[in-house]
Copies of this chain bind each other. A is one copy, B any other.
Amino acid sequence: MRANPRPLSKREIRQENERLILEAAEKTFAEAGFGGATMQLIADVAGLPKANLHYYFPTKESLYRRVVQDIFQVWLQAADVFDGADGPEEGLGAYIDAKMEISRRHPAGSKVWASEVMHRAPVIQDYLETTLKEWTNGRMAVIQRWIDEGKMDAVNPRHLLYMLWATTQHYADFGHQIETLNGGEPYSDADWAEAKASVKHIILTGIGVGQDNA
């Protein structure tokens, strides 16, 4: 049996347990939905007693809210690559790469978000109306500027954004279907590269942006 190197401080204990709970909650909410996930199941996944969950998060809804908020922050951060780009090939290309990478690394988060929105966003409606709306308007303006500068075709910026979201998140939200159609095998590095390249090629070509496909 191993020696205990150092007792955790109160601060460390709180950080560590919150992390354990949030990870377990994200995974469980993604797999079972809000209604299907039980506090007992989340507790089992986290390896903690159920009562301990209620110590850190008073209600199931408060835990869920925190999970959804964290996901939203990840997505907002990923959109930074959008800004400061010289044109659509760089900006949109990097954005597609970033969102595909999130779908690959954090599929559970994407599913929780999708589920939340599908159920009419009972918890994050205010985010949709404020932060997301402002973010969307800002990026639409960037795209419109690129159009005005003749850097891409005059497509509807809003529907272009929707297509980017839909396509990239599809690889997370419908990952199980994709895996099944791949003979039950998870996507390999090569599969992901092919997916990224295909998405970028069709969309960038679709808006009149040339590509050097290596």
One of B32, B181, B194, B207 near A156 (C-beta < 8 A):
B194
Interface residues on A, range: 35 or more
CB distance from A108 to the nearest CB of B (A): 10
B163 touches A202 (CB 8 A): yes
Q: Which of A116-175 contact B (CB under 8 A)?
A: 117-121, 125, 128-129, 132-133, 136, 153, 155-156, 158-160, 162-163, 165-167, 169-171, 173-174
**Residues on B with beta carbons closer than 8 Å to the beta carbon of A31:** 119-120
| A81-115 to B contact mask, C-beta < 8 Å, 1/0 | 00000000000000000000000000000010011
A201 interfacial contact with B, CB 8 Å: yes
Specify the chain B residue showing the minimal Cβ separation from A120: B176
Specify the chain B residue showing the minimal Cβ separation from A197: B156
A178 interfacial contact with B, CB 8 Å: yes
Q: Which of A171-195 contact B (CB under 8 A)?
A: 171, 173-174, 176-178, 180-181, 194-195
**Residues on B with beta carbons closer than 8 Å to the beta carbon of A20:** none
CB distance from A57 to the nearest CB of B (A): 19
Chain A residues within CB distance 8 Å of chain B? 30-37, 111, 114-115, 117-121, 125, 128-129, 132-133, 136, 153, 155-156, 158-160, 162-163, 165-167, 169-171, 173-174, 176-178, 180-181, 194-195, 198-199, 201-208
